[in-house]
């Protein structure tokens, strides 16, 4: 990664993590969209969360021949990784129309919609076999409620939700508690909440939880 790309990532992330409403978040991602891919990836090794998530879907036995929703899809890294493994029925939702324009250019998404995941999602119950959500459960972005419950609602029985939650907010942001609640009410079985690399840059490594939930 060049120093310039590196600085851009730091600047945008610093601005994003202190935001408190979706309108501001949308404005920052609309601005970042044109350089996002180059800024977060260098030779495909730095921002590893999307590829690790796609691998986790497959390792957990997710039905990638079925219907997939990539929530907070951004420019489409996760969809591209899943498509390389044979998925061909992927929808994407995201807050930022500009990020979605780049996702559209990948050619791997069927339906791409502007959705604010801090609110109820206008899609039918039990629509998807697999839902991914990478890089979106973090500071200044999407909190655990109502988003986790909404994504669970959209999953078919035995479907998988595979998402990342940055370690910094795993407990303090209420994600762990909401996942425990969803398990306690019998909505999901928690298959995994494991430490994963999120972003690697030399010695500077950001860690996240890889969360895998199965719809009961
Ligand atoms: C770090 S990017 C991750 C994008 C993509 N999943 C990836 O791994 O490259 C976070 C994404 O979350 C989206 N986002 C932020 N707040 C959102 C909200 N309230 N509803 C839906 N998407 C949101 C942003 O627009 C951005 O595309």
Q: Is the distance from CB of 138 to CB of 17 less than 8 angstroms?
A: yes
Q: Vertex 100, ends 125 and 12: CA angle to 5°?
A: 115
How high is the pLDDT of residue 44?
A: 57
Per-residue pLDDT for the chain (216 aa), expressed as one digit of tens each? 466 677 777 788 888 888 889 999 999 999 999 999 998 887 555 899 999 999 999 999 999 999 999 999 999 999 999 999 999 999 999 999 999 999 999 999 999 999 999 999 999 999 999 999 999 999 999 999 999 999 999 999 999 999 999 999 999 999 999 999 999 999 999 999 999 999 887 767 789 999 999 999
Q: Among 135, 154, 166, name the best residue to mutate to test ligand 1's pocket (greatest count of ligand atoms within 8 A of Cβ).
A: 135
CA of 10 to the centre of ligand 1 (A): 16
Q: Vertex 171, ends 60 and 142: CA angle to 5°?
A: 75
Q: How far apart are CA 55 and CA 61, in angstroms?
A: 10
How high is the pLDDT of residue 45?
A: 59
CA of 117 to the centre of ligand 1 (A): 9
How high is the pLDDT of residue 185?
A: 98
Residue 64 three-state SS: coil
How high is the pLDDT of residue 2?
A: 61
How high is the pLDDT of residue 1?
A: 47
- Give residue ranges with CB within 6 A of ligand 1: 22, 25, 29, 49-50, 72-74, 77-78, 94-96, 99, 115-118, 134-136, 141-142
Q: Among 136, 138, 197, name the best residue to mutate to test ligand 1's pocket (greatest count of ligand atoms within 8 A of Cβ).
A: 136
Q: How far apart are CA 200 and CA 34, in angstroms?
A: 22
What the chain holds in terms of domains, given with CATH numbers, is 3-215 (3.40.50.150)
CA of 73 to the centre of ligand 1 (A): 6
CA of 140 to the centre of ligand 1 (A): 10
CA of 75 to the centre of ligand 1 (A): 9
CA of 68 to the centre of ligand 1 (A): 17
């Amino acid at each position: 990664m060049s120093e310039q790309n590196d600085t851009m990532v730091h600047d945008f992330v610093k601005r994003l993590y202190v935001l408190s409403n979706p309108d501001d978040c949308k404005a920052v991602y609309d601005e970042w969209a044109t350089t996002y891919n180059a800024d977060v990836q260098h030779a495909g090794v730095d921002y590893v969360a999307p590829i690790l998530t796609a691998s986790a879907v497959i390792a957990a036995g997710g039905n990638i021949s079925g219907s997939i929703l990539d929530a907070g899809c951004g420019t489409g890294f996760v969809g591209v990784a899943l498509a390389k493994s044979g998925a061909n029925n992927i929808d994407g939702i995201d807050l930022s129309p500009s990020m979605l324009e780049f996702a559209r250019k990948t050619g791997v998404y069927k339906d791409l919609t502007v959705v604010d995941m801090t609110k109820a999602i206008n899609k039918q119950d039990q629509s998807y076999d697999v839902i991914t959500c990478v890089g979106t459960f973090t500071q200044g972005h999407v909190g655990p409620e109502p988003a986790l419950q909404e994504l669970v609602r959209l999953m078919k029985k035995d479907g998988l939700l595979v998402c990342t939650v940055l370690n910094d907010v795993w407990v303090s942001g209420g994600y762990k508690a909401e996942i425990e609640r969803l398990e306690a009410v019998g909505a999901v079985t928690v298959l995994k909440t494991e430490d994963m690399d999120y972003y690697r840059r030399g010695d500077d490594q950001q860690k996240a939880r890889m969360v895998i939930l199965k719809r009961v």
